Amino acid sequence: MLSRFDDYPIHQTPEPVAHPASSDRNVYDRYWFNGYADDGEFYFGIGMAIYPNRGILDCGFSIVRGGEQHAFHASRRAGDPTDTQVGPFRLEILEPMRRVRVSLAPNETGIDFDLVFDARTACIEEGRQTTRRGGRLFMDATRFAQFGRWQGEIRYAGRRLPVEASRVYGTKDRSWGIRPVGEPETGGAPARVMPQVFFLWAPLQWKDRCTHFLVFEDETGHAWHQGGMIVPTYAKSEQIPGVEDPKIVHMASVEHELRYLKGTRRAESARIALVPKSGAKLEIELEPLICFRMKGIGYSHPTWGHGLWKGELAIAGESWKESELDPMAFENQHIQQVVRATLPSGEQGVGVLEQIAFGPHARYGFKEFLDPA
């Protein structure tokens, strides 16, 4: 199948761009964004992905504010990969690696918005993330992140929320490759070990720079993938010196110390550190301000999970109160918390701490798939 992309000199295999190099059914290509007020008043998440070997394109938007989270979900049959619209939802690349517009026209869910993401840093390649389970490829993906600000307006539940670039920061996350999506697979030999994922991701925004932190660890606490960076910022996106910035400083390693809220797997507070190749490490204290359940944009959602066939076009909305959620339910584990970040000097910034902790992790005392702290 040909697409408009095939008119550009971007081919990586003899196949047209619409055909992935891998026949794995879990091939995906995703856009993901977050946005948050600098005082933690609200957080919103946006996601859209195509699963070419499943023939599905899905998306989601969700906002948490005042103890309530509201979500929009949509899915349709995938077609031309340049068509980034799902019903009333639309994503437009206004300027590659600089500005993106995401909008949701009025619809039956009562949620709509018009938002523009404007970068304040160059893009950050996190590096290829590959892991196997029982000898079989479980995840093989490349990801890049970018820091920016949001401008626009969100309307939900009869409320209007102005989104002003002076106070609303955000992160763009693009990833592609293979990761588990869609319906759980059945058959074959049963697994010999308990499923396990431990992931922390902390993009933080400061007055004149950004810092980035991520780590995947196994059940022993060994980091099988990690990264840390200090990233220059620019007042205007047109000042960013190219797709990647030669002034980005890459760390040798990262460290973390979480203090979990009793009865959960959610951090009550945290300390992270960026360890440079030379010199003193940069320690950062994180104070959570508001919690966003990633199920609002499909992650671990029991019925609107990523890559599930919902029909030619399907749309749904839902809402819940945070106080009524079971903190140990499977679908409530994958979270992002808006955090106030503080350096030893007293300088403060803002950002998010993403957390996934399934299965054992020796350092934090987890022994079962979902035993609480």
Which tens digit of pLDDT belongs to each residue from 25-71? 999 999 999 999 999 999 999 999 999 999 999 999 999 999 999 99
| DSSP calls for 299-316 | TT-TTT-TT----SEEEE
Give how many domains the chain has, as a whole number: 1
Closest CA to 62 of 42, 84, 48, 46: 46
Predicted pLDDT of residue 13:
87
Predicted pLDDT of residue 311:
97
Q: State how far the Cα of 253 lies from the Cα of 350, in Å rounded to an integer.
A: 22
Predicted pLDDT of residue 211:
98
Predicted pLDDT of residue 196:
94
Predicted pLDDT of residue 135:
74
What is the CATH number for 313?
A: 2.40.370.10
Asked whether residue 365 is assigned to any structural domain, the reply reads no
Asked whether residue 189 is assigned to any structural domain, the reply reads no
Asked whether residue 293 is assigned to any structural domain, the reply reads yes
Do the bridges between strand 159-163 and strand 168-178 make them parallel or antiparallel, or are there none, so unpaired?
unpaired
Residue type, position 12, single letter:
Q
Asked whether residue 24 is assigned to any structural domain, the reply reads yes
Predicted pLDDT of residue 182:
87
pTM: 0.95
The one-character DSSP state at 5 is G
- Residue reference for tokens 């902390």: 202
Asked whether residue 9 is assigned to any structural domain, the reply reads no
pLDDT digits (tens, 9 = 90+) for 246-271: 999 999 999 999 999 999 999 999 99
Asked whether residue 31 is assigned to any structural domain, the reply reads yes
Kindly calculate the radius of gyration of the chain based on its CA atoms and give it in whole angstroms.
20
Average pLDDT per block of 10 residues along the chain, 373 residues long = 85 88 92 98 98 97 98 96 96 96 98 98 91 80 95 98 98 94 82 90 97 97 96 96 94 97 98 92 97 98 97 98 97 98 98 98 97 97
| DSSP calls for 155-208 | EETTEEEEE-TTTEEEEEEEEEEE---SSPP--SSPPSS---EEEEE--EE-SS
Asked whether residue 6 is assigned to any structural domain, the reply reads no
Asked whether residue 366 is assigned to any structural domain, the reply reads no
Domain that holds residue 165: 17-184+194-358
Residue 295 φ then ψ, to 5°: -60, -20
